[in-house]
Each structure stands twice: as C-alpha cells, then as structure tokens.
Amino acid sequence: MSHEAFRLTELKKKLPYKIESIATVRNLFFVGTNDGKLIVYEVSLQDHDAQCVYIHSSKHKQPIRMIIPIAEEEILLLVVGDVISVHQLNHMTSAQLDCLPEDRLPELHTVKGTKDVVALHLKRQRGTFYMAVLQRKKITVYAYRQQLKEFVIVNDGLLLPDGAKAVLWVGKNLMIGFRREYVLMQVANGVTDCLYPTGKSGTPLLLSLDPVPEVLVGEETTGVRALHDGSRVPGKNGMPWSSIPTSAAYIHPFLLTIHSGGNCIEVRLPFFTDNVKAADAELWQSISLKCADRISQRPFADFDANLPKETTPPDTLRKDITIVVNSSNTVYLLELVPIREQVLALASVDCVEAGLLLCQLCTNEVDQVTVGSLKTQFALWSFNTKKDFKTAMLRFRDANVDPLLVIYLFPGFLTQRAQAEWQPPQAHTHPLETTELAQHMPNALAAFLDYAVPLRREYATVETEMLAEAIDTAILKAYVILGDEPQLLSFLAEGNACSLAESEVFLAESEQWVALVMLWYSHRQHHKSLALLQALGTTGERISLKSLLSTSSSWVGLSFDAAFSRILQPLLVKALGDSGSMLVAPSEGGKTDFIPQTVMAQLLAEVAVDVEPSQQTYLLRRCVGVVVTILYMRLLSWEERESMALVEQYSPWILANVSPRWSVRMFAGVGLQPKDYAAVLRIIGSDMSDIGATQPYERVVEWLSFIFADTCNVSTDASLHDAYFQSLMQLVLSPSCATAATAEEEQWTATGRQRLEKFLRSSHHIDLTRVQAVLEQPEVRGLMYAERAIIYYRLKRHEEAIRMFLYEAQQLQAAQDYATRVGRDGQDGFQILLHLLLSPGDGCTGPRLSDALTIVNTCDEVNPFTALPMLPADTPLAPIAGFVKRSLRDASARSRNAAIRASVLEARIRQAELKLARERALQVVLDLGSSCVVCGKKLRPDVVFARFPNDVVVHQACMEDEHICPVTYKDFRLGIEPVARGTL
C-alpha cells in the first residue's frame, strides 16, 4: 500500500555535535551530546525552522544517554553515564535570548540508588509517575512524589540474571528483553515468566502502543503485537520486516521504524490486518531519508489515557513534535498528515477498510459526516466486492444508512412505491447482478434479515409508512427465498406493513399458499383466502390470482375420489391429531398457528409413499386447501355479520367430503358462543349429498360431542340435546354401522353406542318419555336394549326394564345386574325379578322356577322375607336349603354384631359418666394468702387462674403451656411428646 501518512521537512543541517540522544516536548526538541551538553531548539511549525534557545552543560561531564521530559510535572530527566539527574523544566522560547543568561534547566537532585544503569522506562498510572531502572542484575522501581519533587524507591528487590538489555512497563508489570528471550516480571513478587525468543540477532525491541493496551515485541523478521499479560494478540498479530529496527517510535496510530543499512523510514499501521498477499502487506509508507539514524521517542507510557472518543479534543495525542536525525546529524521534522485528509485519500482509492480503521482509532480527528460516508462506502465495498455480507450489514446499521439503499442491493426487493419516491445516491456503486448475487444469496439474505428484522420496529410510524412497507416486504421476500417458512409465518402473524399487492403476487408465484393465506388473514381478506383454499382443495391446480375471484364456485361439484381420501385420512391424523384436544386454536397475542406448508409436505411424503413424485405437488395443494380451511374457519369471529356468510359459502365442500371427525372442527373455535349453536347446527345438518358422501347426522354427532365433551348439561338448550339424540340414533341404526366389516368401522359403531348410552345416562334436558317412545318403536326396540334400560331406570320403571331383559332380550344376567343396580338405590330389585320369573303374566311362558331358585341361591342381595313367600308352596326344601341356611347365618351375624355395638356404646356411656363425676369432684382450696408461684402476686377471686394436677396454682397469664407445670416442668399429657421431653 502506498499512502502518505507523514511529511518530512528538513530543520537543521549537520549539527556540530556528536549526538547521543534526542527528545521532544511540545515544540521543543533536545539534543544530548557525548560531552555532557544538552542543546534545546525551538521549532517553528509555520516556517519549518529550528532555533537554538538554550545550551545546558551537565556538571557530570559524561555522555547524555537519555533525555526524558515530563511536561506534566515540569521536570526533565537526564541519564548521564550512570547518574539520573532531575532538572526543572522551564518554558523556553527564542524571545528569551535577549534576556540575561540564566540557568533554565536547574538540577533539582539526582536519583539515588542508580548504578550500572542499562535502561529505564517511565509510566503514568492513576496520576502517578513510576520509573523502572534496569541495572546489571536487578530492577529498581521509583515513584515520583509531587510534594518532595523527587523519585523515591518503592521496590529495590527485583533481582535478575545478567544480560538484560531492555525494560518496558506493561500495565502493573514489566516486560524485559534479554539477548535470547523476552520475560514478563510481576512487580508485586518478582516472579518471572518466559515468553518468546528474541531472534537470531539477539537484539530485543520493546515498544508500548498506548493508548491501545498492547506492546510491540521485535523478533528477527517480524514485529509481534502482544497484550499486557504477555500473550500474543489473537488472530493476525505479526508484521514482517527485513531486520530488527535500530530505532522505532509509535505515533498513534502509526509505527515508525528505521532498519540497519536502510535509507528510509518505514511507516506501518500495526492494527491493519487486511489479508493482502503482498510481501509488505502492512507497509503503508516508505519515507526516503539517507542514513536515517534515530527517531524521537515518547517520554513515557501513559496508562491513564484511553482511545479517543468523539468528544476528546483533537490535539490530545498531538501535543509533541517528532524529529528524525540521520547519521550526518541533520535534523528533520516529521509531521503527521491530518487524519481526516488521510481518510479521504484512502477512500478515493477504495481503501475503505483502512480508512475506517483510522476513523475508529482517531475518532476525535474526523468529523462524523466523513465517518458516516466512509462507513457506508465500506459497507458497500464489503457487500459488492468482498462478499462479506455480515460485516456489510453491521456497517450499514452502524452508519444509520437509509434502509432503502440496503434493500436496493437486492434486485427485485424494492417496492414499486419506494422506487417511485426514492432514488439511490449517485456516489454509491450499483447493486450486484442477479446471477452474481445468486451464488451467495443464502448468506446475503441471512445477513440482511439480521439487519432488517430488528430495524423494522424503528420505522413503525405513520411518518415512515413508505419505509416500513419497503422493509417488511423485503423481509417477506427474503424469508421466501431462503425457504424459512416457520419464520415467515411467525413474521406474518405479527403486525406488518407489507405491500399487499406485491407480497401476494410474490407468494403466489412461489406457491407459498399457507403464507399467502396468513397474509390475507392479517389484512382481513377472508373471502379471497377461503376462495383460494377451496380452489386448491378441489382442483389441486396452480391458481392464478387474477382469475380467483372471477371464477364461479363450480369447484364445489368436484367430490373427493377414493385415492385422495385414503391419503387425506392419515394426513389429517398427523396434522390435526386424533383427538379433540389437538385442535389448533389462536395463540396468545392474536397470533395464528397455521401448519406450515413444509410440514404438510413432510407428512404427505410419509403417508403417500407409493405416489409418484410428479403427483406430490398436486396432492400437496389439495391437502393445504383442506387443512388450512379447517383451521381458517376457526379463526373467524362470529360477532361479525360477514363471517356467517363466509361460513355458509365455503364450509360445505369440507363438510361434505372430509370425515366429520375433522371437518366439524371448523366450528369448535374459542370465539363460538352458545347463541351461535343453532346457526352452526343448521349448517352442519344440511343435506349435502349432491357434493359429498358424508351424512348430516354424522356431522351433528361429531360436532355436539365436541361441544358437550364430558359435561353435556353445560348447554341447557333442549333442542341441542334432542338433535344430538336423534343424530346418535340415526348413526347407530345406519346401514354402515349395521354392516361394519372392518375393525375401524366396528370401532366407529362402538363409539356411537358409547356416546348414546353416556348421553342418555347424563342429559338433564331431554324428554325421557319421548325418548322412551322412540326406543320402543317396533323397528327399534329389539336393537336398543341397553338404551331402553337406561331410560327405564331414570323413569323408575324397573319392572318394565327387567321384563325386557327376561322375555325380549332373553338375558337373565342383564336382568340380574339391573336388579343389583336398583338395590344400591335402596329398592328391592330382586323382588321384582323373582316376581316376574315366577308370575310372568300373559303372553309369556310359564313360571321359571329353576331360574328363580338359581338367583335365590347365588345372589346375596335377595331378601328372604320377600323371596320365600313368593316361592310356590310345593317347592322342595332341598333346593332352597342353602339359601335358608345362609339367610339364618346372616341374620344371626347381624344380630350378634348389633349386640356387640350396643355393649360397646353402653361401656362408653359409663366411662363418660365416671369421668364427668371425677371432674366435678375436683376442687381448689384458696385462702387469703394464696399467691401465684410464678409472679408471687396474690390470687383474687376475680382473676382467672389455673390448677395443675400436682396442685400448683398460677395466674392464667403466667402459664406458658397449659400442659406443663411451670414449677416442676412436668408434662401431664399422655403420648410420645412427654417421653421425648424426658429423653432430651
């Protein structure tokens, strides 16, 4: 990359000194010589000239190895030989040259304890300056005390092996460079950890990158970024270079290095990790300078400084100048090109990623308009060129880009209304071609949905209606293309602002029928929804929206063929469930739970295993029409007048062709009220034999079984009960039930019988007399013995019921069971049974003495006092001997048990009388001096007191427990608690 980050200007040619060190502060730069002189120059940034303003001669007369100005404390540190001297840093300008000579850098003191100084480094942390002095075999840590204006030792015991060459503060710890490796030392305890090697040359390089909390470590051919804990920065952290730099400086956010034998200054942005295959991918600028020698360093690491923010003053990190000196002692001024100018230059050559990184690192030096424009340009570059769609959407969101521009990137996504009212910015690139974007469409749409779905809530206002419509329509199209139908249905179930005209066309072309119906439902287009579903369910053809409403409802005449019905039956079981509890109902918050079309396709594949693939689409359309119609009808509000007309128009084709087990579920919605039952009953009870095969009574039975459930008496409408009874009778007596051939038909018949018997047994709103008349009709009475018995029982006509079982049904056991049931109600049913067996009456066979004797000998409920007199006088004793013995034995046992109970009751009465006498005999004798043993106060007749069995008398208020004596603590209760108290 070729980019101008710095500009180099010559200040002074060939200074007549042997330079040992240089430093800068504000617009001054210092030159330290080998004979102990310190020359101070003032730089004019307008004239690009430098003028000597002061020359200081050190009294130590040794080379000045390091110069460290600290403007914040107005001091200057000089490392002269092994002496570290502290000087007062006064303000110096060229105007002072006309004044009398004076010492403008007076020496305040020298730092104690310095010997064999190898290197030192300063930091500012929490407002305090700390200095780490690397000596030959140890490190001494100093802290600057403002009150004393001197550095004092805070840690003098950090021992090291010989050979350390560099030291650097990394947070609270120190990083040390040896000849072969870098070491991290914990200042608190002196523990060291080896990190990584220095390289073959053995020259360590340590450079702080603050305000970024990182450090640059030099290896042989690579510069490595590391964190303050010594670990390498994750990801790409290396910068290739030819050799270890001889001099390096960090001017935020750039790294400047000078290498041996080089005639240039290399400029890099260490945080730029663009994966370019060039050899020097991170080399941003090469500043030509023959025999470059050294660059002025920052005086200390400032850990109190953070990365700039928008409100940070622009000059916060730009207060000091930077100078460069070559081997011929020529001094140059190195000026940073304004960051905004660099950003614009990078954007002009499409290096938007690098420009955006500069904006992030120096956000206080670039106006927000430029930042926003660059973010937009970077997002477009990421989308169109790099195909990094996720990053592009994040940048679009970060830059608050107009959502219409983002939607414009997807061909065909922008609504017609938006195209008419909005024009894309001319400065931005055109969207990708459809064929080019199609290769990456899944990733692009997934990133778009992550961007658009959270964004749509911000534009749900009247003022942004056009924008909200464009966003929601684009989201709908994205879900359709991705094939994410569950999310699409969830999106449509919520409130949305999709363009109805464009969305319905798009969904129809994509054959997303369920989603189309849900879209229409949200816009209250019920007529269109039901017409579409009817067309799909009866024809199985792809429907054109233009001809949908213009075509008459001739589809109703198409009945369901046997092959489709065989497939539909198990599919409905899987889709809707085999019981009424599986009915799909509106969810909380107004959402509708339609079954996704993809789910129905999977169920259809499981059911129709022998169907050719070419027929799958045809069958799927028909199944969608049937299933969704059943669910859709349940969502209609019966409070609206339009709903009744829709139900009457679009429900017959389902009622007539689909098994009532599922078709009547259209009328089991949560909004259906009892006042609507009559209208529903009229619809489902209509004759539809011209369009289907199901019978009205089948539909009525199924629907009322859902309505009545386990408690039919919840509904007090007698007409409903009568309709249910009539339909059940028709069902039970229908030819299909009479000639049930398969197990399923037999189960269907048994279920009908069970429902009829349960209803007759529990309904309180049917006319029992009328029901009896119906059941006793000649063509019915021989088939309805159990049902007639239920009615006889409820009418208390037990004799008729038992006569029916004995002489019509010829079921002696059923008559015996009926008599037992009557006996549980306190009546003697066996008396009636024996009477009918022994005196059958006219039209019956003779007396059935043997059956009567069998009942007498086997049934324990027979009363001997009523049974024996009914037996004929000539009945032999032997057949009834067992009955008589058992009766006598039972009578004796009952008498004996009654006597025992009487004796027990008498004993309890005597015990109660004795206890009452003992209680009445108890007395308490009190005299005038009697007092409470707890409080010591006298007992007065008007105060309630208590006496324990051991004659202890206390006030009731002084008694903690009525069972425990407050003196002896004895518990007078019997049971386990007193025993437990004594054990403890």
- Per DSSP, the residues of 799-838 read HHHHHIIIIIS--HHHHHHHHHHHHHTTS-HHHHHHHHHH
Dump pLDDT digits (tens) for 309-365.
989 999 999 999 999 999 999 999 999 999 999 999 998 888 888 898 999 999 999
The pLDDT assigned to 206 comes to 94
Confidence of residue 807 (pLDDT cuts 50, 70, 90): confident
The pLDDT assigned to 172 comes to 94
How many CB atoms neighbour CB 115 within 10 A? Answer: 11
Dump pLDDT digits (tens) for 90-127.
888 877 666 656 788 999 999 998 888 999 999 999 99
CA distances to 192, 378, 438, 473, 968 from 448, rounded to whole Å, are 50, 16, 14, 13, 86
The pLDDT assigned to 740 comes to 60
The pLDDT assigned to 97 comes to 64
CA distances to 509, 529, 586, 617, 647 from 516, rounded to whole Å, are 10, 8, 18, 17, 20
Dump pLDDT digits (tens) for 928-959.
888 998 998 888 878 888 888 888 899 988 98
Helix (H, G, I), strand (E, B) or coil at 330: coil
Residue 769 burial class via C-beta count within 10 angstroms: exposed 0-12, middle 13-18, buried 19 and up: exposed
Mean pLDDT of 776-785: 88
Phi-psi region of 933 (alpha: psi -120 to 50; beta: other; left: phi over 0): alpha
Q: Which of 4-13, 306-315, 690-699, 742-751 has the lowest mean pLDDT?
A: 742-751
Q: Which of 631-635, 636-640, 770-774, 838-842 has the lowest mean pLDDT?
A: 838-842
Determine the distance from the C-alpha atom of residue 592 to the mean position of all C-alpha atoms in its chain, rounded to a whole number.
Answer: 20
CB 517 within 8 A of CB 625: no
Query: In the CATH hierarchy, which top-level class contains the domain 923-984?
Result: alpha beta
Q: Which of 327-336, 480-489, 708-717, 824-833 has the lowest mean pLDDT?
A: 708-717
CA distance 791 to 771: 8
On the question of pLDDT at 433 being above 90, the answer is no
Dump pLDDT digits (tens) for 82-98.
899 999 998 888 776 66
Query: What is the pTM assigned to this prediction?
Result: 0.69
CB 793 within 8 A of CB 785: no
CA distance 50 to 28: 9
DSSP string for residues in 402-435: -HHHHHHTSTT-S-HHHHHH----TTSPPPPPHH
Confidence of residue 889 (pLDDT cuts 50, 70, 90): confident
DSSP string for residues in 343-358: HHHHHHTT-HHHHHHH
β-pairing, 49-57 vs 107-110, is unpaired
Top-confidence residue, 926 or 427: 926
On the question of pLDDT at 430 being above 90, the answer is no
On the question of pLDDT at 239 being above 70, the answer is yes
Q: Which residues contact 799 (CB under 8 A, 6 or more apart)?
A: 832, 836
HEC sequence for 640-691: CHHHHHHHHHHCHHHHHHCCHHHHHHHHCCCCCCHHHHHHHHHHHCCCCCCC
CA distance 668 to 703: 8
CB 64 within 8 A of CB 20: yes
Angle between helices 513-522 and 526-539 (to 10 degrees): 160
CA distance 460 to 458: 6
Q: Which residues contact 282 (CB under 8 A, 6 or more apart)?
A: 239, 240, 268, 269, 270, 272
CA distance 44 to 321: 11
Q: Which residues contact 739 (CB under 8 A, 6 or more apart)?
A: none
CA distance 27 to 401: 42
Q: Which helix (H) or strand (E) holds 894?
A: helix 877-921
β-pairing, 181-185 vs 238-240, is unpaired
DSSP string for residues in 212-266: SSEEEEE-SSEEEEEETTSPBPSS--EEE-SS--SEEEEETTEEEEE-TT-SEEE
Best-predicted range by mean pLDDT among 240-244, 293-297, 794-798, 976-980?
293-297
CA distance 582 to 594: 13
Phi-psi region of 497 (alpha: psi -120 to 50; beta: other; left: phi over 0): alpha
On the question of pLDDT at 173 being above 90, the answer is yes
CB 703 within 8 A of CB 634: no
Mean pLDDT of 534-548: 84
Confidence of residue 689 (pLDDT cuts 50, 70, 90): confident
On the question of pLDDT at 214 being above 80, the answer is yes
CB 414 within 8 A of CB 407: yes
Candidates 144, 81, 83; CA nearest to 114 is: 83
CA distance 330 to 777: 130
Top-confidence residue, 434 or 293: 293
The pLDDT assigned to 557 comes to 44
Mean pLDDT of 228-256: 90
Q: Which helix (H) or strand (E) holds 539?
A: helix 526-539
Which tokens sit at 780?
Answer: 């019915």
CB 266 within 8 A of CB 256: yes
Confidence of residue 494 (pLDDT cuts 50, 70, 90): confident
Residue with tokens 């990137």: 409
Residue with tokens 């025993």: 979
The pLDDT assigned to 278 comes to 37
Top-confidence residue, 661 or 840: 661
On the question of pLDDT at 267 being above 50, the answer is yes
CA distance 199 to 242: 12
Percent of the chain with pLDDT over 90: 39
Confidence of residue 544 (pLDDT cuts 50, 70, 90): confident
* 151 strand-pairing partners: 144
**What mean pLDDT is reported for the chain?**
86
Dump pLDDT digits (tens) for 5-18.
999 999 999 999 99
CB 781 within 8 A of CB 788: yes
CB 946 within 8 A of CB 953: yes
On the question of pLDDT at 585 being above 50, the answer is no
E strand map for 269-414: 283-288, 292-295, 301-302, 322-326, 331-336
Dump pLDDT digits (tens) for 667-678.
876 677 878 888
